[in-house]
């Protein structure tokens, strides 16, 4: 060990085309690493030009050693067995040979070269792996994609997708891996099983499952929104899949990437790559990702499903099972409606609607009896919300963008996607967290039948918790519109679901109707686009499905343009709202927004 410093081995695997990005990774790693260690950096390759090597070797210093290791001889006998597709090369498999290649090391770090290191890499290395084979971070792109979840549980055989790790950032317990005969077992699997989706990552997960130290996402943060770690606590960013700032704009953490890129000799090369990356190439990237999803689906369809229900699910009674069947029916109906393009139609059957007449509603609680019921309903509603949260029937994992509510002095129309009868309570929670409840009221636009038909406690809430029911009566709607204008002019908020339908646990944003945006345009107030994303929790609900954890994303206000007419503003704000929702959806779930709508119907 040089200079009597403790040694930390760090491995990369590259070919020549990835050398520019490796330089950025190395620059960030070295700049943020403790000087109390000697970093032995090994770059495994089959082809790298001498010019590229010379540039990378300039990063050597008193406590940083760099060596290029040619693996051509090592791979000669098996290179034809290494399956690759799309942009992958055989270099992706190199990490699997590290234990036997370097018997002198008991432990090492492996990093992909599409990463930047923002923390001290020695802190990562010093995580105690105990007797586990690896330390790794669950793959965030898997947990947000149902096709991936099915694939890793059914094909790779993970007990839960939540333990399927990303192989681009790992601590390797080389001593334990040798004792486990890791390479021998990998080569045997290579002869008997072909993993086509994530290739070497799938082999690693299969071989190591049950013996992986799960590490926090701060050490392998993908550039998509996360409820697991705050942006300011991120220690390593992994620009995987399509999220590469040298190809695309508006990638999360791109500023950090370009900060380090500017400090390398490859900066102009990387800029050139970005500037010359064509729309056709970007389209091809998206096509490849969609192809990957289809490959997942195909691989999964070839495997039976003998996964056992969770212990909690096994205890469900027959009533719950019946409820599960009804939910499955709803999900099928949603799929049918999406194919047919019926986005503004509810999938759950409501009882016949009783018409709401003008004399049956007091929109602004002008009567003393209405005000008393309103106070009671809001007080009971707060207790009801607390119970929902306490009982985990409503799980709010994170609220992003609270400042976009806090800073508003005017009235505003809040828009939100609609997928659960309780999602308005989630918005109520965000409203209270913003502190605006101390000086403003939040009104909710609801369906006519919700106001007139519901009995019991829910009916009481629908009628008296600051609700604005729509009506099939023209006279009632005149009062509704007057009330909307008055509410917005006195600087209160109105929550509207512009999709005009509720689809249970539907993750995509649906096409929007114009009404909410007309209200905002007419009253010259902003739209606050709110999009709620979700993921499975650990809890199974009464219907047999996992209760969802909600991330409430409150985006920046969309203001009317004083140069446009009321109608033009309404349509402009509607389109902008949809694009904001679309971007949140694609960033969080890591997939392009596409509908399975059948546009090839026979025209008869």
408 and 551 co-located in one domain: yes
User: In this structure, is residue 599 part of a structural domain?
Assistant: no
8-state DSSP, 396: E
Q: Which of 92, 98, 67 is nearest to 79 (CA)?
A: 92
- The number of distinct structural domains making up the chain is 2
Q: Is the separation of the CB atoms in 397 and 550 below 8 Å?
A: yes
184 and 85 co-located in one domain: yes
Q: Which residue has the higher pLDDT, 117 or 16?
A: 117
| Residue 22 confidence (pLDDT) | 96
374 and 229 co-located in one domain: no
Helix (H, G, I), strand (E, B) or coil at 494: strand
Helix (H, G, I), strand (E, B) or coil at 549: strand
Sign, Cα dihedral of 59, 61, 63, 64 = positive
Q: Which of 466, 520, 516 is nearest to 496 (CA)?
A: 516
Domain final residue, candidates 300, 333, 367: 300
443 and 532 co-located in one domain: yes
User: In this structure, is residue 109 part of a structural domain?
Assistant: yes
- Sequence-distant (6+) residues with CB within 8 A of 498 are 415, 512, 513, 515, 516, 517, 574, 577
Measured in degrees and rounded to the nearest 5, phi and psi for residue 356 equal -90, 115
Angle between the N-to-C axes of helices 515-523 and 474-489, in degrees from 0 to 180, rounded to the nearest 10:
50
Number of other CB atoms surrounding residue 378 within 10 Å:
16
364 and 294 co-located in one domain: no
Number of helical H runs and strand E runs in the chain:
23, 16
230 and 351 co-located in one domain: no
Confidence band, pLDDT 50/70/90 cuts, at residue 574: very high
| Residue 2 confidence (pLDDT) | 52
222 and 84 co-located in one domain: yes
pTM as predicted: 0.56
Q: Which residue has the higher pLDDT, 222 or 325?
A: 222
Burial of 491: CB neighbours in 10 Å, binned 0-12, 13-18, 19+: middle
Confidence band, pLDDT 50/70/90 cuts, at residue 585: very high
Confidence band, pLDDT 50/70/90 cuts, at residue 216: very high
271 and 146 co-located in one domain: yes
363 and 259 co-located in one domain: no
The number of angstroms, rounded, from the C-alpha of 425 to the middle of its chain's C-alpha atoms is: 22
Q: Is the separation of the CB atoms in 289 and 591 below 8 Å?
A: yes
Q: Is the separation of the CB atoms in 309 and 320 below 8 Å?
A: no
Q: Which residue has the higher pLDDT, 270 or 200?
A: 270
Report the percent of the chain where pLDDT is more than 70.
Answer: 90
| Residue 1 confidence (pLDDT) | 45
Degrees to nearest 5, angle at CA 456 with 453 and 458: 75
Among the residue ranges 312-326, 373-387, 433-447, 557-571, the one predicted with the least confidence is 312-326
User: In this structure, is residue 595 part of a structural domain?
Assistant: no
271 and 344 co-located in one domain: no
The number of angstroms, rounded, from the C-alpha of 24 to the middle of its chain's C-alpha atoms is: 26
| Residue 57 confidence (pLDDT) | 96
Farthest-apart Cα atoms in the chain, separation: 88
User: In this structure, is residue 511 part of a structural domain?
Assistant: yes
Q: Is the separation of the CB atoms in 208 and 181 below 8 Å?
A: no
Measured in degrees and rounded to the nearest 5, phi and psi for residue 298 equal -65, -45
Q: Which residue has the higher pLDDT, 245 or 202?
A: 245
| Residue 411 confidence (pLDDT) | 95
Degrees to nearest 5, angle at CA 495 with 494 and 497: 140
Confidence band, pLDDT 50/70/90 cuts, at residue 322: low
- Does 396 have pLDDT greater than 50? yes
- Does 88 have pLDDT greater than 60? no
CA atoms within 13 A on the CB side of 560: 24
User: In this structure, is residue 307 part of a structural domain?
Assistant: no
| Residue 82 confidence (pLDDT) | 45
Domain hosting residue 180, numbered range: 2-300
The number of angstroms, rounded, from the C-alpha of 145 to the middle of its chain's C-alpha atoms is: 9
Measured in degrees and rounded to the nearest 5, phi and psi for residue 349 equal -75, 125
User: In this structure, is residue 148 part of a structural domain?
Assistant: yes
Measured in degrees and rounded to the nearest 5, phi and psi for residue 212 equal -125, 125
Tokens of 487: 């509410």
Burial of 23: CB neighbours in 10 Å, binned 0-12, 13-18, 19+: buried
User: In this structure, is residue 308 part of a structural domain?
Assistant: no
Confidence band, pLDDT 50/70/90 cuts, at residue 317: very low
| Residue 89 confidence (pLDDT) | 44
- Does 79 have pLDDT greater than 80? no
180 and 75 co-located in one domain: yes
For residues 72-96, give the mean pLDDT: 54
CA atoms within 13 A on the CB side of 139: 22
| Residue 74 confidence (pLDDT) | 66
DSSP track, 267-305: HHHHHHHHHT--HHHHHHHHHHHHHHHHHHHHHHHTS--
Could you identify the residue written with the tokens 């029911």? 469
33 and 104 co-located in one domain: yes
Residue 290 is part of a domain; what is its CATH number? 3.90.550.10
Strand order in the sheet with 134-138: 64-70, 37-45, 6-13, 108-111, 165-172, 134-138, 212-214
Residue 518 is part of a domain; what is its CATH number? 3.40.1130
Q: What's the per-residue H, E or C state across 155-176? A: CCCCCCHHHCEEEEEEEECHHH
Q: Which residue has the higher pLDDT, 570 or 202?
A: 570
pLDDT in tens, 232-244: 999 999 998 778 9
Q: Which residue has the higher pLDDT, 521 or 143?
A: 521
Sign, Cα dihedral of 441, 444, 449, 455 = negative
- Does 350 have pLDDT greater than 70? no
- Does 302 have pLDDT greater than 80? no
Mean predicted lDDT score pLDDT of the chain:
86
Measured in degrees and rounded to the nearest 5, phi and psi for residue 163 equal -100, 0
- Sequence-distant (6+) residues with CB within 8 A of 570 are 514, 517, 518, 520, 521
Q: Which residue has the higher pLDDT, 602 or 128?
A: 128
pLDDT in tens, 482-526: 999 999 999 999 999 999 888 999 999 999 999 999 999 999 999
């Amino acid at each position: 060990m040089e200079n009597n410093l403790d040694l930390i081995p760090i491995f990369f695997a590259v070919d020549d085309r990835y050398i520019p990005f490796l330089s950025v990774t190395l620059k960030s790693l070295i700049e943020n690493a403790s000087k109390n260690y000697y970093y032995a950096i090994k770059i495994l390759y089959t082809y790298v030009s001498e010019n590229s090597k010379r540039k990378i070797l300039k990063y050597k210093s008193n406590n940083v050693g760099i060596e290029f290791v040619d693996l051509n001889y090592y791979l000669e006998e098996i290179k034809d067995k290494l399956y690759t597709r799309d942009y992958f090369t055989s270099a992706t498999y190199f990490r699997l040979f590290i234990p036997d290649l370097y018997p002198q090391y008991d432990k090492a770090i492996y990093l992909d070269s599409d990463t930047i290191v923002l923390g001290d890499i020695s802190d990562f290395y010093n995580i105690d792996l105990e007797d586990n084979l690896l330390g790794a971070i669950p793959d965030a792109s898997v947990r947000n994609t149902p096709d991936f979840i099915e694939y890793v549980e059914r094909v790779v055989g993970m007990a839960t997708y939540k333990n399927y790790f990303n192989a681009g950032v790992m601590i390797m317990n080389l001593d334990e891996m040798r004792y486990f005969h890791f390479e021998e077992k990998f080569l045997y699997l290579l002869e008997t099983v072909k993993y086509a989706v994530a290739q070497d990552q799938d082999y690693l997960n299969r071989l190591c499952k049950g013996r992986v130290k799960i590490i926090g996402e701060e050490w392998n943060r993908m550039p998509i929104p996360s409820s697991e770690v705050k942006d300011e606590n991120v220690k390593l960013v992994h620009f995987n899949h399509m999220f590469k700032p040298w190809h695309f704009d508006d990638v999360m953490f791109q500023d950090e990437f370009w900060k380090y890129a500017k400090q390398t000799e490859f900066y102009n090369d990387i800029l050139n790559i970005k500037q010359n990356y064509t729309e056709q190439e970007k389209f091809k990237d998206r096509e490849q990702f969609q192809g990957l999803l289809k490959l997942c689906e195909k691989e999964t369809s070839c495997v039976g499903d003998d996964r056992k229900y969770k212990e909690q699910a096994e205890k469900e009674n027959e009533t719950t099972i019946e409820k599960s069947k009804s939910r499955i029916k709803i999900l099928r109906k949603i799929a049918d409606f999406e194919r047919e393009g019926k986005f503004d139609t509810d999938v759950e059957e409501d009882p016949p609607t009783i018409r709401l007449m003008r004399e049956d509603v007091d929109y602004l609680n002008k009567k003393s009896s209405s005000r008393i019921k309103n106070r009671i309903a809001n007080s009971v509603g707060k207790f009801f919300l607390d119970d929902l949260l306490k009982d985990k029937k409503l799980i709010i994992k994170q609220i992003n963008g609270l400042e976009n509510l806090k800073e508003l002095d005017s009235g505003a129309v809040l828009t939100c996607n609609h997928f659960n009868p309780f999602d308005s309570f989630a918005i109520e929670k965000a409203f209270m967290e913003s502190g605006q409840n101390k000086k403003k009221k939040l009104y909710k636009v609801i369906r006519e039948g919700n106001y007139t038909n519901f009995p019991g406690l829910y009916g009481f809430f629908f009628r008296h918790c600051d609700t604005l029911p729509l009506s099939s009566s023209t006279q009632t709607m005149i009062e509704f519109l007057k009330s909307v204008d008055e509410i917005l002019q006195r600087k209160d908020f109105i929550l509207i679901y512009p999709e005009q339908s509720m689809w249970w646990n539907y993750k995509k944003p649906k096409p929007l109707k114009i009404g909410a945006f007309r209200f905002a345009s007419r009253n010259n107030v902003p739209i606050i686009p709110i999009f709620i994303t979700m993921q499975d929790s650990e809890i199974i609900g009464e219907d047999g499905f996992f209760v969802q954890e909600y991330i409430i994303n409150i985006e920046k206000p969309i203001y009317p343009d004083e140069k446009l007419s009321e109608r033009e503003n309404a349509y402009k704000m509607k389109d902008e709202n949809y694009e904001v929702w679309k971007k949140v959806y694609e960033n969080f779930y890591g997939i392009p927004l596409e509908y399975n709508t059948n546009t090839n119907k026979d025209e008869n």
